[in-house]
Amino acid sequence: MANESRRKGGTVELNWKEVFYTNCPLVSASNVDQELGWAREDFKKMGINYAYLRSRAENDWYPHYIHNLDNLIRIGGLFPPVHVHADMRRTVLLGATHVYEGGCMMVRARDDIYRMVELKGKKIGISKSLNSIKTDWWRIQEEQGIELMLRMNGMTRDDVEIVEFPYPDDWYDDPEMVGPPIENPSELWFKRDHKKDLAFRPLETALENGVIDAMYTQTGPFQHLQEATGKFKAIEDLAKYPDWTLQMANVPAVITCSDVMAEEHPELVVCFLKSMIKVGQWSNQHKRAAAAILDKQTFYLDVDDTYRGIKDVDMVPNLSPQNLAAIEIGKDFMKSHGYIKNDFNVREWAAPQFLEQAHRELIEEEFAKLRVDKLSMTGPSAPVVAAAAPVTEDPSNICCAAGDLAEAK
């Protein structure tokens, strides 16, 4: 188990002139922006230093999982922030990005198994973290996926043998694992080929060696890597069903910040979200370029595989009713299976006012540029134009202002 006293000293001293971010290696605007650097530029205009969590030696890896740093914005898998908000400290839900991938059931490629029902009486592996500080997000998605696949095939847990594989999972504040500071999350993969590193596929060796007969794996990010070895095949895929509620493998990816940041420094939250909206819009318009960036850090097979995985994904974070419903599904599973002690209302956790303000300011900024750069006039009518279209704080009035401007002309 990780050392509790060491963990308490694992963050920098709080300074609101700096904002840290941390992200999981998955699909999000932040994972594109870590290469573009637009958020860093926007914060710099405010006199704020925006940096990756591990760019400072004082920060260990734990804030990514337990959010014990007030000036941190986290972007990543759903289950850790649900655990934090339920049982550890209050945070604020700012946005979400959903990739509809529910997970696959993998077996050995040459085994005479082609359907889930043929797993009756056989062994399915499941991992178990021994770390009591953070949530066991890996196991949660495995258990959720296994139960759903069994149910979709008229089976229950009683029809198979679930075999646990405990592991220490305590490296997050280990000096040898923390290592030197890292300026960009992509640097994590300079010294290791993460697409072949079995540390990220903990049950694969047990399956290959016949210790178990099947294992759950995330669709897309891991399935194609495993199948490319020629050793494994998928016999079930939750992403193939029309029911989107089956496709919840630690997703949606969510953006959260501390309640302290949201309450005391909302301008920092809005600045970040404005950057993510801009990066998300760019990514939507340039999906192949975004795929090339995301391939450096995600677990898709290659750039083309990444593109296929994100081509229908809205990269602009949002708090849509569907995303909130998906978050509720994940939270409810965690509560029903004992992964969180306390329940909470997802709709109250969500704070759409920050995204609304970010969109409003971007619209106003773009309209101001249009007015100055594209609609400026010379001669007698210039004063009329200037008076006809003031920039308004209410974005709902912008169309009216634009209409007045056209009428004045």
> What CATH number has the domain bearing residue 140?
3.40.190.10
Instruction: Give residue 85's pLDDT.
Output: 98
pLDDT at position 20: 98
Q: Do 303 and 394 sit in the same domain of this protein?
A: no
Residue 310 lies in a domain: yes
pLDDT of residue 399: 37
Is there a single domain that holds both residue 119 and residue 224?
yes
pLDDT at 397: 39
- Secondary structure of 272-315 in HEC code, one letter for each residue: HHHHHHHHHHHHHHCHHHHHHHHCCCCCCCCHHHHHHHHCCCCC
Domain contains 209: yes
**Tens of pLDDT along 65-88?**
999 999 999 999 999 999 999 999
Give the domain extent around 292: 4-98+250-359
Q: What is the pLDDT of residue 376?
A: 58
Domain assignment present for residue 364? The answer is no
Q: pLDDT digits over 221-263, tens only?
A: 899 999 999 999 999 999 999 999 999 899 999 999 999 999 9
pLDDT confidence of residue 178: 87
Answer yes or no: do 211 and 284 share one domain. no
Give pLDDT, residue 375: 62
Contacts (Cβ under 8 Å, ≥6 apart) of 44: 50
Predicted confidence at residue 391, as pLDDT, reads 39
Does 235 lie in the same domain as 108?
Answer: yes
Tally of domains in the chain:
3
Answer yes or no: do 108 and 239 share one domain: yes
Measuring CA to CA, which residue among 284, 342, 305 is closest to residue 221?
305
Please tell me whether residues 239 and 259 are part of one structural domain.
Answer: no
**Statement to judge: residues 110 and 235 lie in one domain:** yes
> 255 and 191: one domain?
no
Task: Give the model confidence (pLDDT) of 88-140 as tens digits.
Answer: 999 999 999 999 999 999 999 999 999 999 999 999 999 999 999 999 999 99
Are the CB atoms for 318 and 95 separated by under 8 Å?
A: yes
User: Residue 171 burial by CB count (10 A; 0-12/13-18/19+): exposed, middle or buried?
Assistant: middle
385 assigned to some structural domain: yes
- Residues of the chain under the 70 pLDDT cut: 1-9, 373-409
Instruction: Confirm whether 366 is domain-assigned.
Output: no
198 lies in some domain = yes
